[in-house]
A and B are shown apart, each in its own frame.
Chain A
Amino acid sequence: MTSGLSATSATTEPLGRELADLASVLRQSTVEVRTGGTASGSGIIWTTNGLIVTNAHVARTERAAIILWDGRTFDGEVTARDPRRDLATIAIDVGSAILPAAAIGHPTDLRTGDVVVALGNPLGIAGALALGVVHVVEQRRGGPRWIRADIRLAPGNSGGPLADAHGRVVGVNTLIANGLGVAVPVTTVARFLGDAEVERANVKYRGDRAA
């Protein structure tokens, strides 16, 4: 390992720059989700034409206000909700605009110790970044079940992205358990979106409590 000044210039400065770059890119794809009241959650721009993915416990109502990082605000319609997976989709009509959809990563490739970042609106602070590492990826048959991360999250991070060192989203931050951030892997989101496609015509809105 290098030491002293050379380490500072060769490693630490680029590290800070890369983190800042990564945060600014990921921030573009992170939205604030408001469903009335004071509390707000986060969401991820999944497609360029306005499909937002968030937690079911964030999208409690039929409609939600979606606030982009640049301040544009849209009236969103909750189009699918799965309280069991704690996932929901919200559609917004962006006309001919193209939204900065998040890059999606591969949670199956995550290893314990990998660097992860979270973007969101913890305690109402918009676009806040948190840095941490993968604590453990909990497996079940056929893939990851939960991503547990040693990262400092707070209410308001719910529904926002957990991303790898490339800024690719690997999970949806969902809850805090024993101090650990717990995220639903994007592989589960993909399955949810597949199911949601089928059930689109039959969406139920219920005032389920947070998972």
Chain B
Amino acid sequence: MAGPTTPAPTAGVLESLSNDLAGAVDRAGQSVVAIHARRRIPASGIHWRPGIIVAAHHTIQRDEEITVSLADGSSVAATLVGRDPTTDLAVLKVDEAKVPVASFAESSGLRVGALVLALGRPGSAITASLGVVSAIGGEWRTWHGGTIDRFVRLDVSIYDGFSGGPLIDAGGRVLGLNTSGLSRGAALAIPAETVNRVVDQLLKSGRVARGYLGLGMQAVRLPAALVERLQMPNDIGLMVVSAEPGGPGDRAGILIGDVLIAVGDTPVSDPAELLAFLGGDQIGKPVTAKLIRAGEPTTVAITVGERPQQSRGSRRGR
């Protein structure tokens, strides 16, 4: 190699940005751990509170023999405190974690256009991707009926092992937990406020209780004459297509083929509306189900049960 080379341009702001981002990764990365609880590459987790690790439920594919690798290179055994499949969160406990707990950003930091980094530790080294918050919305409900306080969509590339890692701002403060388990592959973040709520519930009772009817439903369109006769607000009902034997619906005498049109005073025309109704506060309470059975309206009293816990993570998602 010889001769004069082209002088590199002086980098003022770009260099500062680079230093800021690398510094943010270094600081926040101290509380990002690798979680070994599945066959393929490890997933990520966050040292959320002293001795408490938060991860993505779908990446925890076994309930025992879970180990966690920390930023200082050490490995510790972790026990599963509980999981909430409805928000794709799991909480683990470790005896000794000589790494700092994450520091958190104000929730006002979640703004469309905000520069963010997604961190992961799918092994020993910290990894990062850069992007922006692409959309923010209000409270939303996941496929499985969990409530997420805000919808946070990211324009950030997601890579293997990224789920369970933190979304951080340019100052290295945690805004939320990233997962691909709540959407078909798109990057979403669960805001820190939701994680805190679920962590509190899991630490208290080991689970996040959800109401349960033990019925499989399918939305169906009802005949116009019937809709008119019953003065229904819309022409969609939920047809029962399966009933868990001995489940709350079965015990109440619900039959396959019944079409549910309301629970209590709440009309239901979408399974999501029923899931929204079945919060943990409904467990043990009697509700009046309004049905159409053999073309005629009828009511059945059902005592809401508790949704059985799903133990394993799915193999979907990153």
Contact = CB atoms under 8 A, between A and B. Distances in A.
Specify whether A and B are partners. Answer: yes
Contact of B18 (A28, A48, A101, A164): A164
A36 interface: no
B126 interface: yes
A22 B14 contact: yes
Nearest to A139: B125
Interface residues of B, number: 36
B183 interface: no
B138 interface: no
Interface stretch (A78-86, A111-119, A120-128, A203-211): A111-119
A150 B8 contact: no
A152 to B, nearest CB: 8
Interface string B1-30: 111111111111111011001111110010
Nearest to A45: B6
Contacts of A1: 170-171
A63 interface: no
Interface in A8-67: 11, 14-15, 18-19, 21-22, 25, 28-29, 46-49
A148 B120 CA distance: 14
A33 B25 CA distance: 36
Contact of B25 (A49, A98, A101, A111): A111
Contact of A167 (B11, B24, B127, B170): B11
A49 B3 CA distance: 8
Which of A102, A103, A104, A165 is packed against the most chain B CB atoms within 10 Å? Answer: A165
A48 B21 contact: no
A199 to B, nearest CB: 17
A92 to B, nearest CB: 14
Contact of B11 (A48, A101, A166, A178): A166
Contacts of B130: 113, 132-133, 150
Interface string B117-133: 10000000111111000
A101 B127 contact: no
B11 A150 contact: no
Given A1-B171, A180-B159, A111 B9 contact: no
Contacts of B14: 15, 18-19, 22, 115, 165
Contacts of B5: 48, 100-104
Contacts of B26: 111-113
Contact of A113 (B1, B8, B13, B21): B21
Contacts of A154: none
B2 A49 contact: yes
A134 interface: yes
Given A47-B3, A48-B3, A165-B18, A18 B126 contact: no
B164 to A, nearest CB: 17
A143 interface: no
A136 B22 CA distance: 11
Contact of B9 (A22, A101, A133, A139): A22
B160 interface: yes
A21 B160 contact: no
B15 to A, nearest CB: 5
A100 to B, nearest CB: 4
Contact of B117 (A15, A25, A113): A113
Given A112-B127, A150-B128, A165-B18, A100 B6 contact: yes
B288 interface: no
Interface string B264-306: 0000000000000000000000000000000000000000000
Contacts of B24: 113
Contact of A18 (B2, B3, B13, B129): B13
A47 B127 CA distance: 33
B17 A115 contact: yes
B9 A136 contact: no
Contact of B21 (A29, A114, A190): A114
Nearest to B23: A113
Given A112-B128, A114-B21, A136-B127, A48 B9 contact: no
Nearest to B24: A113
Nearest to A110: B22
Contacts of B22: 111-114, 134
Contacts of A19: 14
Given A25-B9, A133-B21, A166-B9, 11 more contacts: A22-B8, A48-B3, A49-B3, A101-B3, A103-B6, A113-B24, A113-B130, A132-B130, A139-B125, A150-B130, A178-B159
21 contacts: A18-B14, A22-B8, A22-B9, A22-B11, A47-B1, A48-B2, A49-B2, A98-B4, A100-B6, A101-B4, A103-B6, A104-B1, A111-B25, A113-B22, A114-B22, A115-B14, A115-B17, A136-B127, A138-B125, A178-B160, A190-B1
List the 5 closest pairs (A to B, CB-CB), nearest first. Answer: A113-B25, A48-B3, A115-B18, A111-B22, A165-B18
